[in-house]
Structure 1
């Protein structure tokens, strides 16, 4: 929420953050929202600003002191002729339906700005105006009041007085935290091989305030090897927060375990560590709307928040279970309590989307509060696909057809217009898939009109709730938002579909293929960003597609493993190409059977699809009935995944069949005898289809490496990750069989880990 200035011993807080802490009361109430999008809000502010005279002052930086507090912010605008300070708020719908506590918060912010302006310019009084701008009608509603400087000063001091106790507590926390971090020792007797090199690279990146791509082998302890140096850097580099972002639950848990180990080694360290949980998992009442009349945990939320916040921050670890317990003990919503706690935590562990997505909570708070943050991205080889998904959107025609039958009458006309424009797109298309060179303007206009109409209806009917309409509304907003930034980094395509009933339809997709333009502002907002994984080669692929800064550092941490720990064999007599797969099943079964007969134990066998995997498992079981076999199933939940992994015991034997790139291809730890070998029956290349071919052509035009960037690098990354499950410690020994003749090519082997010693297949 704020930063500490050591030299002045002051606590810096933004005007908005100050008022949100002191002036928010009553219910959590989202009925007046969803508010205009960020782009609509910016556009609305621009419209209001453009209507003002030439001498109108815009974006006025203001600041002031009160005790240990340094309060700062930017007022929207000042009219010197009328001595009027304005705060612009965009909205849609009926302004009269805005909750009273929202309006009170707006006035609180404006009055604080009013005091700071009077103080800065020696004004005896000022006219304050809340300017509410309706995005739909483009009309302004101005609520103005005249205030003298003395009264505004009293308001300012009241807010500061209400906050200063908390600020002093935060100053004390920060001082104690930094003192303990400066003395923090590595929690193990020695660094693992490679771990010190990784830690030094992390610390140097923070020192230089730059980005880092770090390729570091599996099993060296990357979680603690990255967190420790940045915690040590926090006092010296004045870091407010460290964000540890992971692609999967297992990665987040390893980060939490690393923090716990650090805390155990330094019991006096007051380190607040928060785990962020998705709303779908944190919400206690998913069937209720987020307002006090519907949800008991939203009723009086802001009145009970101070006690819940204080109780939570006294806990040693703010993981999902602890936050939920603290929230329910004070009858507040766990999901929104964790969002509040993000303002006060030192280390925040969560998914990639919390910092890199369009509506990312952590990025928004970082920018609003001018935090100095370090961002750690674990298993960063996932970032390209995950970021693409964040900045892609699709719409199903069947969903709209169903919605038209149940939506309120007031929405029938705008939804029907979208439907008609959608039909026009389908009629223009003969082939199953088509990529358009430009966005269809008539369809996008109809979609924009429909989402505006739904937003207006929601605002005018706050008690109304329809999950299907809301889903389409949010999908439409996301689609329209991405359309505003459509360019070479994305594709727009139409895929024709046929339902089970034989009804023709289609899917429209805005498909991001190069997330760089969206991620670059995220990198720029952090003091340092470190992306690390066992598979980040070649580095230019990640630098290009993710938009890494020009001064990004690169480190390739030497493997602590010796070549004689892992026997790597290439079955160059087998082709796993699609047209050869049925022919490959018998030799694969023979190879796996021979390896198991030589050395019984636990193995994983990876295939390119569930269909291929099932055929291979069926034949292997038929020919080797004495070997235990278990299989990955489609859509396995967490319990089923745990049961699959539980079969890999230290004294167990058998083969687990899995899909490459799935839940068991990375992020699992089966050291020692729990896993002694793997069979990888594929290069992992993405499917050859019109979508991927469109991506290849675009990658070729942008980077001159279409095939490599679309197929080869993503495929081999999955192969190396899967093989990396075998050797987890410096005492492990195992065998990997790479099954495909293409693994024998020098250009393919050059992309595999340098420490591997690759030999031919064994019979």
Structure 2
């Protein structure tokens, strides 16, 4: 018989939750607050009373069996008899909290009570909801007695409400497991290196390990990671994959790979997560019923919307989600998040996994231990993670708050924090690092957050001040990162204005997150040098490593090394020579070319000379949106002779496929070293103290990764041929030359 497992909480929320999305202010520490409140109440239990009691029950129906399970907060003993206690924290004041305000809470408690009665053969039991007000810690209790027959009726209602969705999920799971054994590789043959990569991913998934793989352009990384990941699901060790990527183009490539497997007969459901501000139907993203009709009544309509889309669609990309969201008049962003519970594959940005500010609450430990993690373009994650785990406070922002907040205490604390930041650093130093901040400052920051929360909770969106909200959330993030602080972090002060908790090495935090998943695969065409990226992303000696050669031949690339200095001090002097070298490339190899520069200012300098070439030149603009980016690339046709000027590390140096005659040549001007600043110097010093080459870790490796990405735009298939020019005398030295792929060193 068909069966599935579901927690009491999930069952109750599905059946009872009604009403609207109402994202009024909430503390970002809600989960940890709730845990602390639960523990505080449970400490008050008598020695004879039980807490965290595991209960389960098999609910059999004609169509299927539901395995309902969960942990009851408490089984108490009172004069009235046994009591099932369900503890909930709330921001509502006591007078607002009516007994039936949250029917899903009663539903959860009824579920535990029914299972306990069945287990202990009781005729009835007391059911209690214990609410704890977060700010005051005041307890409000509601107590009811129900017979086992009444409890059975409550559970029957929840099960009947859930059954259509459950049957949909069971059907999807059965079809998946029926079709996966028959699924073959969706291409006639494997490319060189592709089978090796796919086999390594499969082995990693089956064994629950971590793999770091450098898979050069042309191998087909996306299908070579997704296909074995999907095939490994056959054994039932895990149920879902999260495909993490940083760019729209790679998300689209993942969707195409899934479409190919579906066309081969695989019954798979995949959902793509799109940022809220991009997918929102409204001009302003205000998720409250009085402002957005798609939020109004969302929970009244979501259950039908889930069954509808899962019955009729399998590739839930942005367009499909928007279509069904409009059909059912619901928020498309929340819709996509709710679909992650049912999808076999979730495609989304890194931040939904790694960023503590926006990571999906749905990715609980219970979920991730049954989920595989595929991290595409993993070289991008190092700097992204550094940014995610760093936090800043601005003295000037705190100075403005006393006139903006209603609370005198919050204003006073803000003024003190501003003074604390300014007094941390010597008068004559613009930038400085320190090991610790005074404990009193941390206490003030905690008090400020708590005090600010107390009045922000009651504000409507139009009453919220943007500066106050930014300072509050920035302070909250700073405190959260303080909990992570170890030797991998340092404090930086700038201009007596900014205090920054800077993450020098994200490996510890990244590894902690990765360890929660069944398995993980980090892959990129440019994990070079390999040891650097493995270390920065939390790799261990036990992890698998794979470094594959390029599937392309040396004969496809004509490589030129032009030993001119592009150092900042020499740029004006060598600009004419750089321009002449680029012009010669376009004359020797007619067609379309892309030239990459380390900065906009340097690009503009060379462009001023290139205007004399008499050729059609297009230039990357600052802050180009997707439409402008598409227009830029559309000019590169097989018949055109376009010269594109772009920036290393920008939107055109990754994820761009101009195959065949759409791109004849690429030139990389400079080694793309990051500008020298206090953060890079601290990274330099940190790794020197770790017996590493600190200069390479801080400057050379990040810069050369941009070079490798830009150079990789040239050859995208076995049929491509072209010229690749490196303009900088440092490319002739062993350090930089050694970081280039072998097939780029032919001349």
Q: Same fold (TM over 0.5)?
A: yes
Deviations for 1:84-104, whole angstroms, at most 9, x for unmatched residues? 433332334525446988622
- Of residues 510-519 and 13-22 in structure 1, the stretch that sits farther from structure 2 once superposed is 510-519
Distance 1:214 1:427, change over 3 A: same
Hey, what does 2:677 align to over in structure 1?
A: 689
Q: Deviations over 1:681-724 (max 9, x none)?
A: 22122221111111222233346342232222212111111101
Does the Cα contact within 8 Å between 1:85 and 1:128 map onto a contact in 2? yes
Q: Is the Cα–Cα contact under 8 Å of residues 565 and 574 in structure 2 kept in the other structure? A: yes
Q: CA RMSD in A?
A: 2.5
Displacement of 1:212: 1.1
Q: Does 1:132 align with 2:131?
A: yes
User: Residue 356 of structure 1 contacts residue 363 of structure 1 at CA under 8 Å; is this kept in 2?
Assistant: no
Q: Which moved more, 1:90-99 or 1:600-609?
A: 90-99
Taking a change above 3 Å as real, the CA distance of residues 491 and 85 of structure 1, as seen in their structure-2 partners, is: farther
Of residues 521, 525, 547 in structure 2, which corresponds to 1:556? 547
Q: Which residue of 1 aligns with 2:323?
A: 325
**Alpha-carbon distance in structure 2 between the residues aligned to 1:368 and 1:217:** 34
Alignment-derived partner of residue 752 in structure 1: 740
Task: Give the secondary structure class of the aligned counterpart of 1:601.
Answer: coil
Post-superposition shift, 1:275?
Answer: 1.0
1:272 aligns to 2:269 (yes or no): yes
Q: Which residue of 2 aligns with 1:515?
A: 506
**Alpha-carbon displacement from aligned partner over 1:298-327 (angstroms, at most 9, x marks no partner):** 221111112222222222421112111211
Instruction: Please identify, of 250-259 and 676-685, the stretch whose mean Cα deviation from structure 2 is larger.
Output: 676-685
Distance in 2 between residues matched to 1:439 and 1:39, nearest whole Å: 24
Pairing partner for 1:44 from 11, 19, 37: 37
Shift of the alpha carbon at 1:441? 3.2
| Mapping 1:599-618, distance limit 5 Å | 599-618=589-608
Q: Distance in 2 between matches of 1:455 and 1:100?
A: 25
Aligned match of 2:390: 392
Match of 2:68 in 1: 71
**Partners of 2:161 and 2:492 in 1: how far apart?**
54
Q: Are 1:295 and 2:283 counterparts?
A: no
* Cα distance in 2 for residues equivalent to 1:19 and 1:711: 53
Identify the residue that residue 28 of structure 1 maps to in structure 2.
Answer: 21
Contact residue 206 and residue 237 of structure 2 kept, 8 A: no
Question: Once the 2 structures are TM-superposed, how far is the Cα of residue 333 of structure 1 from its aligned partner?
Answer: 1.1
Cα distance in 2 between the residues matched to 1:26 and 1:199: 46
Cα distance in 2 between the residues matched to 1:584 and 1:391: 40
Distance 1:393 1:290 in 2: 26
Structure 2 portions without partners, runs of 5+: none
Q: Is the 8 A contact 1:608 1:659 kept in 2?
A: yes
- CA–CA distance in structure 2, aligned partners of residues 157 and 104 of structure 1: 15
Q: Provide closer, same or farther for how the CA distance between residues 570 and 57 of structure 1 changes in structure 2, counting only shifts above 3 A.
A: farther
Q: Does 1:17 align with 2:10?
A: yes
Cα deviation for residue 434 of structure 1 reads 2.0
CA contact (8 A) 1:629 1:655 kept: yes
- Distance 1:236-1:99 versus aligned 2 partners, 3 A rule: farther
Q: Deviations over 1:453-501 (max 9, x none)?
A: 33222333457642503333322222221122222222222222xxxxx
Paired with 1:609 and 1:699, the residues of 2 have a C-alpha distance of 26
Gaps of 5+ in 1: 1-7, 497-504
Residues 758 and 199 (structure 1), Cα distance of their counterparts in 2 relative to 1, 3 Å cut = same
Residues 1:95 and 1:627: Cα distance change in structure 2 (over 3 Å): farther
Q: Does the CA contact (< 8 Å) of 2:368 and 2:518 recur in 1? A: no
Kindly indicate whether residue 578 of structure 2 is the aligned counterpart of residue 582 of structure 1.
no
- C-alpha distance 325-9 of structure 1, shift in aligned 2 (>3 A): closer
Give yes or no for contact 2:395–2:422 (8 Å, CA) kept in 1. no
Q: SS at 1:192's partner residue?
A: coil
Aligned partners of 1:289 and 1:99: how far apart in 2?
27
Looking at structure 2, the residues matched to 208 and 91 of structure 1 have their Cα atoms a distance apart, in angstroms, of 42
CA distance in 1, matches of 2:95, 2:351: 35
Choose which of 419, 425, 428 in structure 1 pairs with 2:415: 419
Q: Distance in 1 between matches of 2:413 and 2:218?
A: 56
Summarize the Cα distance change of 1:48–1:420 in structure 2 as closer, same or farther, 3 Å threshold.
same
Partner of 1:544: helix, strand, or coil?
Answer: helix
Q: Distance in 2 between matches of 1:577 and 1:290?
A: 50
Distance across 2 between alignment mates of 1:538 and 1:119 = 61
Counterpart Cα distance in 1 of 2:450 and 2:323? 39
Give per-residue Cα distances to partners, 1:616-673, cap 9 Å, x unaligned. 2112324x2x122221121112222122212222122232111111111111111112
Match of 1:541 in 2: 532
Q: Among 562, 574, 594, which residue is 1:571 paired with?
A: 562
Distance of aligned partners of 1:534 and 1:51 in 2 relative to their CA distance in 1, 3 Å threshold: same
TM alignment of 1:278-677, pairs within 5 A: 278-285=275-282, 287=284, 289-313=286-310, 314-358=312-356, 362=360, 364-369=362-367, 372-405=370-403, 407-408=404-405, 410-429=406-425, 430=427, 431-461=429-459, 465-466=463-464, 468=466, 469-496=468-495, 506-548=497-539, 550-572=541-563, 574-622=564-612, 624=613, 626-677=614-665
Taking a change above 3 Å as real, the CA distance of residues 571 and 464 of structure 1, as seen in their structure-2 partners, is: closer
Task: Tell me, yes or no, if the aligned pair for 1:126 and 1:147 is still in contact at 8 Å.
Answer: yes
How big is the shift at 1:726?
0.6
Distance in 1, Cα, partners of 2:659 & 2:121: 70
Kindly indicate whether residue 89 of structure 2 is the aligned counterpart of residue 90 of structure 1: yes
TM-score by length of 1: 0.91
Match of 1:141 in 2: 140
Are residues 537 and 153 of structure 1, via their aligned partners in 2, closer, same or farther at CA, if it must alter by over 3 Å? same
Q: CA deviation at 1:252?
A: 0.4
Q: What secondary structure sits across from 1:17 in the alignment?
A: helix
1:551 Cα shift?
2.8
Greater alpha carbon shift after TM alignment, 121-130 vs 546-555: 121-130
TM-score, normalised via structure 2 length: 0.93
Contact 2:164 2:307 in 1 (8 A): no
Specify the SS of the correspondent of 2:289.
coil
* Partner Cα distance (2:581, 2:368) in 1: 58
Task: For 2:98 and 2:308, locate their aligned partners in 1 and report how far apart those are by CA, in whole Å.
Answer: 28
**TM-aligned CA distance change 1:319 to 1:161, over 3 Å:** same
Does the CA-based 8 Å contact 2:209-2:544 persist in structure 1?
Answer: yes
Decide whether aligned partners of structure 1 residues 544 and 145 sit closer, same or farther in structure 2, where only a CA change above 3 A counts.
Answer: farther
User: Is residue 380–residue 536 contact of structure 1 (8 Å, CA) maintained in 2?
Assistant: yes
- Distance in structure 1 (CA, Å) of the matches to 2:673 and 2:46: 60
Q: Residue 525 of structure 1 aligns to a residue in which SS?
A: coil
1:261-309, CA deviations, whole angstroms, 9 ceiling, x for partnerless residues? 222333xx43222111111112223536433333212221111112222
Q: Shift of residue 550 of structure 1?
A: 4.8
SS in structure 2 at match of 1:365:
coil
| 8 Å CA contact retained: 1:112, 1:152 | yes
Cα deviation, residue 397, structure 1? 3.7
How many Å separate the matches in 1 of 2:355 and 2:267? 30
| Secondary structure of residue in 1 paired with 2:128 | strand
Instruction: Choose 693-702 or 723-732, whichever is displaced more.
Output: 693-702
The range that moved more, 79-88 or 169-178, is: 79-88
Q: Is the 8 A contact 2:421 2:498 kept in 1?
A: no
Q: Assess if the C-alpha contact under 8 Å between 1:519 and 1:546 holds in 2.
A: yes
Flag the 1:424–1:474 CA change in 2: closer, same or farther, 3 A: closer
Q: 1:164 to 1:645 in 2, by over 3 A?
A: same
- The 1:86–1:541 alpha-carbon spacing in structure 2 relative to 1, beyond 3 Å, is farther
